[in-house]
Amino acid sequence: MLGLELVVILGAAVLLCHLAGQRLRIAPHVLLLVAGVLLGLVPALRQVHLPPETVLLLFLPALLYWESLTTSLRELRRDLRGVVLMSTVLVIVTAGAVAAAVHALGMPWGPAWVLGAAVAPTDATAVGVVARLLPRRALTLLRAESLINDGTALVVYSLAVGITLGDEHFSLPHVGGQFLLSYGAGALAGVVIAWLGAWVRRRLDDPLLENVAIVLIPFSAFLLAEAVHASGVLAVVVCGLIMSQAGPRVGNAHARQQTQAFWSLATFLLNGALFVLVGLESQSAFRGLTGTDRTDALIAVGVVCAVLVVVRLVFQFTAVYLIRLIDRRPQQRLRRMSHRARVAGALSGFRGAVSLALALAVPEVLGSGAAFPGREMIIFVTSGVILVTLVVQALVLPGVLRWARLPHDTGVERERHLAETLATEDALTALPHVSAELGTDQEVTDRLRDEFEERLRVLRARAPEADGMVDEPALRHDQHYAALRLALLARKRATVTRLRDENRIDDTVLRQIQTRLDIEEVRLSHRETVE
């Protein structure tokens, strides 16, 4: 029965924490973590543990796939060099620095490297904590780094665990081969599944069946990569990036609507539940330590958090000046960021799902049958680091961002306006030819031309460069039109519901009409709020 109770508790926690976050203006992820810690005080929930396989095979493929689908590939390509450095070299340097720090505190080198590898990668799903605070370029860099660096951390982690267990040996050719297999085979698995996914989707007309195929894509990519001992994380990321480019050409409108609704809800629930479970797991790990170990573990959490921020900050400035010494092209100067922006970026490196999964996956015993040294310490310190980065840094970061005075990025709004304007102009130009091909009545063609011209006037009035030349009558007309349509849709909805209540129409008829009314209402409401 605990399984069903846990589902209800997790769902209620996600709901209440997001409502409280909106009221208190606190990042919901912070409240979700605190809720998990508090729930861990309930005796009945102390037996709840999060298996690492659940994170790796259920949470990560879905969350990373959606992050990949919604990441700008153009922005990623533009800053690819920085992304590669942050997701490879920085991860290795961070793991080494953390290992050295905790070894100085008394942890053996093997477990120290395991802990370093666990906390080294930033988390793509935790980036949502600052999604609304950072400019688009900074957010894209952070997301891209978080999507790719997991593969590096997994290689370092597997080597550290293997060496500690006595199953692996350290040599540059061996380590290089592991990285090559992880990245090369992982990327290839993502390409293969993306090609198969696009091939299947082109042959499906049923939106439900197409979405079943879409759900299978990230899990298939992850499993195929894991089957050849490559990076399942990288396979999902590559697959998602490819499908983000192929999706508009292989899908249909009904399937895309279902996909957007399903993945938005699914990732929202999975992400929220994961943060609650992290809080629960930290309680369990804390109870597994003795009194002296708890003090040492708390000290280790503080030291590791400080090392993570300092290493990230130093690396960002060091890497930048090295790149400037090597690359003196004029376009390189256009990519430069302010020092304040880099300080803000150093505090934006949140840890999350991958770190927790790696810590929980540490084996309990060595090959000789002895207990794995420091396993409970690794789990607690990792959980503590996740809590600190998501709670303390999330509370400090808004003030740092105000100090950094990052420029407001209006690129998305300008590009969306450009796309809508050009698309409407092209449709208006093509109207006579298409109308003639279809044999459309002239009255219908004229009516559609009037609608397109009115829409074009509104778009031009809302152009960012319009400034003082705004067409106020066009804007006022559009606002009044949307408000009137919404009010009349409400009346139509009330009438249809009344007819159902009077048994004059069936529930099936109500649902069919309601679907069309909902589509129209969402379209009008979206135009009011987004444009």
* Per-residue model confidence as pLDDT tens digits over 460-488: 887 766 555 556 787 888 888 888 988 99
Tell me the pLDDT band of 366, cut-offs 50, 70 and 90: low
Q: Which residues lie below 8 Å from residue 390, measured CB to CB, with a gap of 6+?
A: 27, 29, 30, 33, 126, 129, 275, 350, 351, 352
Residue 29 has pLDDT above 50, yes or no: yes
Supply φ then ψ for residue 443, to 5 degrees.
Answer: -60, -40
Does residue 411 surpass a pLDDT of 50? yes
Answer yes or no: are the C-beta atoms of 150 and 165 closer than 8 Å: no
Query: Residue 531's pLDDT is what?
Result: 36
Residues forming beta bridges with residue 365, ordered by sequence position: 371
Confidence of residue 332 (pLDDT cuts 50, 70, 90): low
At 416, the pLDDT band (50, 70, 90 cuts) reads confident
* Token reading at 435: 């109308």
Query: Residue 530 has what pLDDT?
Result: 36
DSSP letters along 38-104, please? HHTTSGGGTT----HHHIIIIIHHHHHHHHHHTS-HHHHHHTHHHHHHHHTHHHHHHHHHHHHHHHH
Residues with Cβ < 8 Å from 451, sequence gap 6 or more? none
One-letter amino acid at 458 equals V
- The pLDDT score that the predictor gives to residue 525 is 78
Quick: pLDDT tens for 232-273. Answer: 888 998 999 999 888 888 877 788 888 888 888 988 898 888
Give the pLDDT mean for 397-418: 79
Query: What is the predicted pLDDT for the residue at 328?
Result: 64
Q: What is the reported pLDDT for 1?
A: 46
DSSP state of 181: I
Confidence of residue 131 (pLDDT cuts 50, 70, 90): low
Percentage with pLDDT > 90 across the chain = 24
- CA atoms lying within 13 Å on the CB side of residue 275: 34
Start-to-end CA span in the chain (Å): 48
- Residue in the block written with tokens 């698309």: 423
In angstroms, the CA 490 to CA 510 distance is: 14
Coil, strand or helix: which one is 252?
coil
Cα-based torsion angle of the residue sequence 450, 456, 460, 462 in order, rounded to the nearest 10 degrees: 100
142-182 pLDDT tens trace: 888 888 888 788 888 888 888 887 666 666 776 778 788 88
How do the domains of the chain map onto residue ranges?
Answer: 2-409, 410-470, 488-531
250 contacts: CB under 8 Å, gap ≥ 6: 198, 201, 202
Least confident stretch, 11-25, 167-181, 303-317, 407-421: 167-181
pLDDT digits 0-9 by tens, 172-186: 776 778 788 888 899
Is residue 132 scored above 70 in pLDDT? no
Rounded average pLDDT over 343-356: 82
Task: Answer whether residue 309 shows pLDDT above 60.
Answer: yes
Q: By the 8 A CB rule, do 255 and 211 touch?
A: yes
Higher-confidence residue of 137 and 214: namely: 214
Q: Are 17 and 28 in contact (CB under 8 A)?
A: yes
Calpha distance 128→21 (Å, rounded): 14
Measured CA distances, 243 to 182, 191, 193, 248, 249 (Å): 21, 10, 10, 9, 10
Say what the pLDDT of residue 458 is: 84
**Residue type for position 24:** L
The answer to whether the CB of 230 falls within 8 A of the CB of 186 is yes
The residue ranges of DSSP E strands in 165-300, in sequence order, are none
Amino acid at 44: A
Q: Are 235 and 242 in contact (CB under 8 A)?
A: no
More reliable by pLDDT, 496 or 257: 496
Distance between CA atoms of 182 and 187, rounded to whole angstroms? 8
Handedness of CA 454, 459, 462, 465 (dihedral sign): negative
SS (H, E, C) 306-326: HHHHHHHHHHHHHHHHHHHHH
Instruction: Name the fold adopted by 2-409.
Output: Na+/H+ antiporter like fold (1.20.1530)
Query: Taking a C-beta distance cutoff of 8 angstroms, is the pair 297, 377 a contact?
Result: yes
Whole-number pLDDT of residue 2:
63
Among the listed ranges 132-136, 296-300, 366-370, 422-426, which one has the minimum average pLDDT value? 366-370
DSSP per position, 191-210: HHHHHHHHHHHHT---HHHH
Rounded to 10 deg, the angle between the 89-104 and 80-87 helix axes is 30
User: Facing residues of 371 across strands?
Assistant: 365
Q: What is the mean pLDDT of the chain?
A: 83
